[in-house]
Structure 1
């Protein structure tokens, strides 16, 4: 089973690390700024939206090019875990950009929350979330193998959902947009993004809701309506599913 040894978010005005061998697998996410990471003989530029997986036993180091913020976790794997993803069997680093970056960050924050909480089911929750994050990295790395037509169709649907997230969007709307059947449009979207259209729409809405929660003049009911939810109870359920906490807890600053 995957076991976490540390999970953190941190800002670095200046950072430098000499080359050394890592005893843990490392997952590193850059959320602001730029750094150079050295992995073996390679120099890897990392900037906002980039993620790197570095397997245990790698020689790594690095230096910042400017002030930056990172999310990171160090973990170990059992041999049985390696068979779950090609990424884990290849024993080499992988750097990629994440297209659904806001969702990836939300899941990482939930990973950190469960790791810090140390509850009775925290190990299981951490295992599931970290495996999902590694799966997303593997998926993003291999996405170039998909046909260009599928990528274009999925991008059109993503743009539509981003522009119409306040409205009641249905699969029929996406079918009309793409000129395909609802089932085909949904299948293409998930094959490219890893999420169904409704899951993606939920994450877009919740990301916007989190932004609005910093406006103390808005109530949870107002935010639910502003982000396209039909009622507050439904909003509460989706918010908890996506973030791992209730809207009230988030607004009180307990999690994020």
Structure 2
């Protein structure tokens, strides 16, 4: 009974995280990592784990959770005709390479470095969504396969360090290249699966044998959190996808931007408080 009393808040928190991240995955075309990473990191910190290990486990586990969530979300968007298969094929090989490298090198960075990367990128992405500077800079390059490949590699690398499915980066990039918001969200959900698979492998390898990890962890991927959050997130992703197609594109953009600002502020607070 004492063991149950000790862990039930952690389990309950993970279940709520799964529901919210699943809806976010379908709604915004993200893997839910922007919710999972801070939520899981907070839960592990409360349980007394070292701050550096906490952030790495939160990021690595988030990537693993995104795999089933992204598959369900992408399938829902595909049924609605909002998934660009040609763009997906162009992006996947390069995004896989960038993500794998990011997952491997993440082990060399401290937890606070990963938090700062997360926060800075969240603010930049939100500003880009509101002011559209990426479209002005890259819009004329939408027909260049080389630009797509370079973008995919960069998105993959940064996504691995943030522990996200890449939607925060790939959605505005695809919009800049001329895709509609709905098509960008749907295609991004599928791209997130490739990011998650490659990034998870990188975090398993970079965290293998590291001391102080939570029980039942493979490298920086915790299997307990993976099971609890992944199931609920995958079940709830279609709800978010259905909601996304009820909103107009402008509303969806501002929801996305506001969400990222809140997440970035949360990460800044964690760094300063630490």
Give the TM-score band, short-chain normalised: under 0.3
The TM-score normalised by the length of structure 2 is 0.26
Is the radius of gyration larger for structure 1 or structure 2? 1
The TM-score normalised by the length of structure 1 is 0.27
Higher strand proportion, which one?
1
